[in-house]
Amino acid sequence: MTSPTIYDVARAAGVATSTVSRAFSNPQRVSAPTRELVVQVAAELGYSPNPHARALTSRRTQTIAMVVSDITNPHFFEIIRGAELRAKASAHTLVLVNAEESPRIEREQINRLSRSVDGFLLAASRLPEDDLVELAGSHALVMVNRQVPGIPGVVLDQREGCRQLVTHLASLGHTSLAYLTGPRESWMAASRWAAIRDAAAEAGMTAVRMGPFTPRVTHGAAAADAALTTGATALIAHNDLLAIGVLQRLAARSVRVPDDVSVTGFDDIFAAELCTPSLTTLGGTHVNLGRAAVELLLEAADAPRRPGAAAQHLVLPSQLVLRDSTGLARGRRGPA
């Protein structure tokens, strides 16, 4: 009934338990013939190592936790999917944690899991930078879509992406834009605004920031209303969900998109190409974000705290997806 242990295998193979152990966890430490014998006997007995016993002494759990700030946001799912795929490829288990946009929950869950996992993937973490630095001291950490000095991370290129986005709007004749920003704690929101502002200045556009808004569809109404008061003809929403909510509100208020105002989002979620009008958005291959993040984490866990080596920061390309929600600025229609 109860599953076999290394003792059973050792006895059956006529070797010591340490040999069995090594045959599995440190194969090159054992001669080929012995290893094969052990492996074969183990297979016959249906032995497989107990992960908890293994973790107890070795402190390696083959498990990584992914903490997302809000599991409700479909854009995370691509990241999660990429992470799961990559983790599975390395025989690692992926634990999923939803921080529900709460720094407190985020912190609690990290503490709770700190013994059970090899490291954390923090996606769009809402924790203050100090906390993160402190955590990084005792845990392997990889940030996703947030840059923290000294902590490895992967992000989608915002600077360049935002520049393209703003340039696109400028080329359509827009001269003023409004950025509908996300949560106060969101590093992404700050980073996007900085990039947008700079790009706007460069393109000779005026840029204002409104918000913060909770980046959900339902909060698009408030965002749209606020944006309209600015007179801006180009609205850049913090993400696609908010943008879709904005589109809905504009439609309800009979503001035509893109004839009266242009609207853009971020993330290129699945729904972005289905909504009406379809949404111009700054996307990128989020699957790769997840994948790369796991990769970084596995490296970090292997070579823990190599002191000299700076924390790796990967910047993956974003890409501007042009759809129907952006068009010539008002008054720029027809033959120039």
Residue in this structure with the two tokens 């935002």, named with its chain if needed: 162
Q: Residues touching a copy of itself: how many (CB under 8 A)?
A: 38
Q: Which does 19 bind (CB under 5 to 8 A by kind): a copy of itself, DNA, none?
A: DNA
Token duo for residue 307: 């002191």
Contact call for residues 144 and 122 (beta carbons, < 8 A): yes
Between 16 and 274, CB nearer to a copy of itself: 274
Q: Residues touching DNA: how many (CB under 7 A)?
A: 33
Peptide bond into 277 cis (omega under 30): yes
Q: Which does 244 bind (CB under 5 to 8 A by kind): a copy of itself, DNA, none?
A: a copy of itself
Token duo for residue 234: 């180009």
CA–CA distance, 187 with 185 (Å, rounded to integer) = 6
Between 18 and 116, CB nearer to a copy of itself: 116
Beta bridge partners of 140: 119
Contact call for residues 281 and 126 (beta carbons, < 8 A): no
Q: Which does 192 bind (CB under 5 to 8 A by kind): DNA, a copy of itself, none?
A: none
- Residue 48 as a binder of a copy of itself (CB under 8 A): the answer is yes
Contact call for residues 282 and 75 (beta carbons, < 8 A): no
- Residue 40 as a binder of a copy of itself (CB under 8 A): the answer is no
Q: Which does 85 bind (CB under 5 to 8 A by kind): a copy of itself, DNA, none?
A: a copy of itself
Q: Which does 160 bind (CB under 5 to 8 A by kind): DNA, a copy of itself, none?
A: none
Q: Which does 40 bind (CB under 5 to 8 A by kind): DNA, a copy of itself, none?
A: none
CA–CA distance, 328 with 174 (Å, rounded to integer) = 7
- Residue 254 as a binder of DNA (CB under 7 A): the answer is no
CA–CA distance, 42 with 270 (Å, rounded to integer) = 47
Print the binding letters for residues 49-78 with DNA: x by CB under 7 A, - otherwise.
Answer: xx--xx-xxx--------------------
Taking CA atoms, 138 is separated from 67, 235, 250, 301, in Å, by: 17, 42, 48, 12
Taking CA atoms, 134 is separated from 128, 234, 305, in Å, by: 10, 40, 14
**In sequence order, which residues have a C-beta less than 8 Å from that of residue 266 and are 6 or more positions away?**
192, 237, 238, 239, 240, 243, 281, 282, 283
Print the binding letters for residues 99-138 with a copy of itself: x by CB under 8 A, - otherwise.
Answer: ----------x-xxx-xx----------------------
- Residue 117 as a binder of DNA (CB under 7 A): the answer is no
Between 109 and 181, CB nearer to a copy of itself: 109
- Residue 4 as a binder of a copy of itself (CB under 8 A): the answer is no
With contacts defined by CB under 8 A, name the span among 79-87, 123-131, 165-173, 198-206 that binds a copy of itself: 79-87
Helix ranges, the chain (H): 6-13, 17-25, 32-45, 51-58, 74-89, 103-113, 129-138, 159-171, 187-203, 220-230, 240-252, 286-302
Residues that bind a copy of itself (CB under 8 A): 3, 48, 50-53, 55-56, 61, 63, 71-72, 74, 77, 80-81, 84-85, 88, 91, 93-98, 109, 111-113, 115-116, 244, 270-271, 274-276
Residues that bind DNA (CB under 7 A): 2-3, 5-7, 14-19, 21-22, 24-26, 28-35, 47-50, 53-54, 56-58
